[in-house]
């Protein structure tokens, strides 16, 4: 990572964090606002708002124009995490207890609802010229995230999932908010149609690669690095890239019984990951990530050559090398 | 109820229902859209959208202007019901199983989220001139509903609740969406500030009376009429008007032990309601409803005299006499 990009990332994240601190403040009833604050205070990678602002600047926009939509998107992302963690009974997120685990399910439902509504409140500050369009793109995007999460839950109990179905699911569940980030960044800069379409493609590919990498890290990372429980996808019978790839491979017989066990132990997880390595599933995931990211890089050709385009190119590299 | 008002109500509700049928259609994944459709298909009283449209017309607006905000508000109301039913473990709503009961908690979380997002998609169709303002009022309103629901849940485990705290809770949880309906109806008609403020007051009072009536019906109605489980407020240790009134009365000792029993049987409920009748709590609720509604009626004086103002006045009567 170049120093220039590092500096830019840290500057943009700082702006987002500062604005979030203005937007979500501890007030009464604390039993609503404390969990909301907790959810956003470990701010994570802030990839989505950073993308929105970088794309916007690369196309001639500026921060004053994009900050509210960017912050709104980060709040939306946090809303999805808080609700997903209830549904998945996940205990750990960004190295800390989830809202669901630290408080309870009711608190997490309300905190998630509150974050989503706060996101719309923040979005309402977008320039009135673009508001209707941005509101539509955001809402359509969140709806697709709900569809993706529904498919993700449905797939847990379905026997056969094709790679195509897997992609449909992750494109909605994860790719969509990345695509929305890039689309809205472009819209707010007044980009023309081809540029906007290219940015949507860039975001979608970044999101897809990000999710496959997430599936990979869930199997081969370490908890203290990843900040989430390792092997939780297998435990929850998620149809991750690895599982779908292995079950659609000629080596299906080698892992099917273990993957489909009702109660999967940590010993089982180790065995399954060993099989994934042996039958080429881990390599397939790594290849898929690189290929997807090359599509993202191609999409950047539609942008004028400038420093921000270089940053968007550097951002691609961080996806492939991320460890958490 | 006059025939003219009956006709108007049925016309407005029909418009809302037809639009909702256009907005929420069965599509893939059905495991998301079916529960959403189910939640809105038993369309209930549609009081909030009707209020929005009546206020709008009374101030010179028209249906083409208000229908999207009205439908959006009805979707928001349904979102709150679907999520509240999870938190309260309620099985019955409008005489049918709740989404939470018919499917499960995860489905209900996602269906609620989907309805909220659909509400914003529908709101995005509001005229761009008013959109930023309406988006702000709606979002601020929903946030207060979340605050009210948080207080409602917090109160279940708190020993002492004053009547003032009770009003703060129901004004947020129930009054707010009625107030938003009237405020946005006025805003979209281009009403001046005094009229808008009067309409906010009207809505707030209607909502407050509606909630006290709800608390009353929960105790003294019959399930087949009310469409919800009778006595569920007592079972769930809700701080309803009746409970708060009784526990703050000189006759507290007569009912405190029963009300605070961990597991309240249907026999207990009958006994508690008998005590409520004897110590004047039921009458107090009825009086409070009438007094609150008289404030609502006073607020109507700010409106120009026309047929729609008469309808808003008739609507007040339906609150006091409703059985379900």
Determine the Cα–Cα distance for residues A105 and A90; give it in Å rounded to an integer.
11
Contacting residues of B for A117, CB less than 8 Å apart? 116, 139, 142-143, 146
pLDDT for B221: 85
Contacting residues of B for A156, CB less than 8 Å apart? none
Mean of the per-residue pLDDT values for chain B?
95
List the one residue out of B136, B123, B118, B117 whose CA is nearest residue B183: B136
Q: Which of A33, A35, A139 to probe by mutation at the B interface, max B CB count within 10 Å? A: A139
List the one residue out of A146, A145, A117 whose CA is nearest residue B108: A146
Q: Radius of gyration of chain A from Cα atoms?
A: 20
Q: How much of chain B, in percent, has pLDDT values that exceed 90?
A: 91
The string of DSSP letters for B20-40 reads HHHHS---SSHHHHHHHHHHH
Determine the Cα–Cα distance for residues A115 and A110; give it in Å rounded to an integer.
9
Chain-chain contact of A135 with B147 (C-beta, under 8 angstroms): no
Residues A100-157 pLDDT 10s: 999 999 999 999 999 999 999 999 999 999 999 999 999 999 999 999 999 999 999 9
B262-266: average pLDDT: 94
Residues A228-246 pLDDT 10s: 777 999 999 999 999 999 9
pLDDT for B76: 98
Helices of type H across chain B: 3-23, 30-41, 47-58, 63-87, 99-102, 105-123, 128-156, 163-170, 176-188, 193-220, 223-226, 232-235, 241-247, 252-259, 266-278, 281-299, 307-321
Q: Report DSSP state, residue A304.
A: P
pLDDT for B281: 97
B113 closest CB neighbour out of A32, A135, A146: A146
Kindly indicate the confidence band of residue B44, based on its pLDDT and cuts at 50, 70 and 90.
confident
Helix or strand holding residue B97 (H, E)? strand B96-97
∠ CA B311-B313-B314 to the nearest 5 degrees? 65
Mapped onto helix, strand or coil, the DSSP state of residue A96 is: strand
Name the residue of chain A whose CA is nearest to B172's CA: A29
Q: How far apart are the first and last CA of chain A?
A: 16
Contacting residues of B for A112, CB less than 8 Å apart? 113
Exposure string of A71-108, with b = 16+ CB inside 10 Å and e = fewer, is bbbbbbbbbbbbbbbbbbebebbbeeebbbbebebbbb
pLDDT for B227: 75
Residue B179 has pLDDT above 90, yes or no: yes
Contacting residues of A for B124, CB less than 8 Å apart? 132, 135-136, 139
Residue B228 has pLDDT above 80, yes or no: no
Mapped onto helix, strand or coil, the DSSP state of residue A204 is: helix
pLDDT for A123: 97
B54-70: average pLDDT: 97
B154 closest CB neighbour out of A31, A87, A138: A31
Mapped onto helix, strand or coil, the DSSP state of residue A167 is: helix
Residue B36 has pLDDT above 80, yes or no: yes
Residue B226 has pLDDT above 80, yes or no: no
This model of the complex carries an ipTM of: 0.96
Residue B312 has pLDDT above 90, yes or no: yes
Mapped onto helix, strand or coil, the DSSP state of residue A306 is: coil
List the one residue out of A299, A300, A292 whose CA is nearest residue A319: A292
∠ CA B323-B71-B107 to the nearest 5 degrees? 80
B116 closest CB neighbour out of A116, A136, A138: A116
B146 closest CB neighbour out of A113, A120, A143: A113
Chain-chain contact of A110 with B87 (C-beta, under 8 angstroms): yes
Kindly indicate the confidence band of residue B322, based on its pLDDT and cuts at 50, 70 and 90.
confident
Strands B96-97 and B92-93: antiparallel
Determine the Cα–Cα distance for residues A248 and A160; give it in Å rounded to an integer.
9
Chain-chain contact of A143 with B83 (C-beta, under 8 angstroms): no
Determine the Cα–Cα distance for residues B53 and B203; give it in Å rounded to an integer.
13
Determine the Cα–Cα distance for residues B56 and B196; give it in Å rounded to an integer.
10
pLDDT for B248: 96
The string of DSSP letters for B231-269 reads THHHHTT---HHHHHHHTSTTHHHHHHHHT-SS--HHHH
CA distance B107 to chain A (A): 8
For chain B, what is the largest distance between any 2 Cα atoms, rounded to a whole number of angstroms? 58
**N residues, chain A:** 324
Mapped onto helix, strand or coil, the DSSP state of residue B317 is: helix
pLDDT for A271: 95
Determine the Cα–Cα distance for residues B53 and A27; give it in Å rounded to an integer.
34
Written as tens digits, the pLDDT of chain A (324 aa) is 899 999 999 999 999 999 999 999 999 999 999 999 999 998 689 999 999 999 999 999 999 999 999 999 999 999 999 999 999 998 988 889 999 999 999 999 999 999 999 999 999 999 999 999 999 999 999 999 999 999 999 999 998 999 999 999 999 999 999 999 999 999 999 999 999 999 999 999 999 999 999 999 999 988 777 777 779 999 999 999 999 999 999 999 999 999 999 999 999 999 999 999 999 999 999 999 999 999 999 999 999 999 999 999 999 999 988 887
Kindly indicate the confidence band of residue B147, based on its pLDDT and cuts at 50, 70 and 90.
very high
B12-16 long-range CB contacts below 8 Å, 24 or more apart? B12/B46, B12/B49, B12/B50, B12/B53, B12/B54, B13/B43, B13/B46, B13/B50, B15/B53, B15/B63, B15/B67, B16/B43, B16/B46, B16/B49, B16/B50, B16/B67, B16/B70, B16/B71, B16/B74
What is the helix, strand, coil percentage profile of chain A, to 5?
75, 0, 20
Q: Which of B104, B146, B168, B169 to probe by mutation at the A interface, max A CB count within 10 Å? A: B146
B265-287: average pLDDT: 95
Q: Which of B113, B118, B126 to probe by mutation at the A interface, max A CB count within 10 Å? A: B113
Chain-chain contact of A29 with B154 (C-beta, under 8 angstroms): yes
Name the residue of chain A whose CA is nearest to B27's CA: A147
Name the residue of chain B whose CA is nearest to A35's CA: B150
Kindly indicate the confidence band of residue B39, based on its pLDDT and cuts at 50, 70 and 90.
very high
Chain-chain contact of A131 with B136 (C-beta, under 8 angstroms): no
Chain-chain contact of A143 with B118 (C-beta, under 8 angstroms): yes
Residue B47 has pLDDT above 90, yes or no: yes
B106-116: average pLDDT: 98
């Amino acid at each position: 990572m170049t120093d220039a990009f590092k500096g830019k990332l840290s500057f943009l994240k700082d702006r987002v964090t500062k604005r979030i601190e203005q937007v979500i403040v501890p007030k009464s009833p604390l039993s609503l606002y404390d969990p909301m604050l907790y959810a956003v205070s470990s701010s994570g990678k802030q990839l989505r708002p950073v993308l929105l602002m970088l794309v916007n600047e690369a196309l001639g926009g500026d921060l004053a124009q994009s900050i509210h939509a960017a912050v709104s998107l980060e709040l939306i992302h946090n809303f999805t995490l808080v609700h997903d963690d209830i549904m998945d009974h996940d205990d750990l997120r960004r190295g800390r207890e989830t809202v669901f685990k630290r408080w309870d399910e009711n608190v997490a439902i309300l905190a998630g609802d509150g974050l989503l509504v706060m996101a719309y409140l923040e979005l309402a500050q977008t320039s009135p010229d673009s508001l209707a369009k941005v509101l539509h793109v955001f809402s359509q995007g969140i709806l697709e995230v709900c569809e993706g999460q529904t498919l993700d839950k449905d797939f847990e109990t379905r026997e056969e999932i094709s790679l195509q179905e897997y992609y449909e699911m992750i494109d909605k569940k994860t790719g969509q908010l990345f695509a929305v980030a890039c689309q809205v960044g472009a819209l707010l800069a007044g980009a023309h149609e081809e540029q906007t379409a290219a940015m949507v493609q860039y975001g979608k590919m970044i999101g897809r690669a990000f999710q496959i990498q997430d599936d990979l890290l869930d199997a081969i990372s370490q908890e203290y690095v990843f900040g989430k429980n390792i092997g939780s996808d297998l435990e929850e019978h998620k149809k991750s890239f690895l599982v779908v790839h292995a079950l659609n491979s000629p080596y299906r017989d080698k892992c099917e019984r273990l993957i489909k066990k009702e109660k999967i132990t940590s010993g089982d997880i180790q065995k399954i990951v060993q099989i994934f390595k042996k039958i080429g599933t881990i390599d397939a995931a790594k290849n898929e990530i690189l290929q997807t990211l090359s599509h993202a890089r191609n999409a950047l050709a539609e942008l004028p050559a400038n420093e921000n385009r270089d940053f968007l190119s550097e951002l691609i590299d961080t996806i492939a090398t991320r460890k958490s």
